[in-house]
Amino acid sequence: MALDTLEQRCEDALAAANHKRHPIFAPGRVRGGEGIGGITWQDWNMEFFDEEIPLPQTVGHTRSASGARQKGRSWCLDGEQTCYGLLDADGLEVKTA
């Protein structure tokens, strides 16, 4: 999906958020939803797949004592406050707290 199309779908979903659920913002089964989670609610361990997205993601919403975890090009930095990332023109640098 092209980024401009995704941006428009997100804008549409936000505009309708008070009136109806939109799949982009829906929680996945692991988080109590009915299907695969939208872009803001996927569980890193069970639902997120790096190979299905056009650009790498840096997320932080699946807690783990394991620290930073990587899948393909993407990172999960929610390591129970044990790590953080610095993003610059050269890419993401993961640091431990």
The gap between the terminal CA atoms of the chain, to the nearest Å, is 36
Q: Are residues 96 and 58 in the same domain?
A: yes
Averaged pLDDT for residues 28-54: 77
Paired sense of beta strands 69-71 and 74-76, if any: antiparallel
Q: Are residues 28 and 63 in the same domain?
A: no
- Tell me what the pLDDT averaged over the chain comes to: 80
Q: Are residues 37 and 52 in the same domain?
A: no
Q: Are residues 11 and 33 in the same domain?
A: yes
**Quick check: 49 pLDDT over 70?**
yes
Q: Are residues 37 and 56 in the same domain?
A: no
Contact (Cβ atoms closer than 8 angstroms) between residue 39 and residue 24: yes
Q: How far apart are CA 13 and CA 83, in angstroms?
A: 32
What's the CA angle centered on 42, arms 31 and 56, to 5 degrees?
165
pLDDT at 61: 67
Domain extent for 20: 1-42
Q: Number of folded domains in the chain?
A: 2
Q: Are residues 29 and 53 in the same domain?
A: no
Task: Kindly report the pTM of this predicted structure.
Answer: 0.58
pLDDT at 72: 92
Contact (Cβ atoms closer than 8 angstroms) between residue 36 and residue 46: no
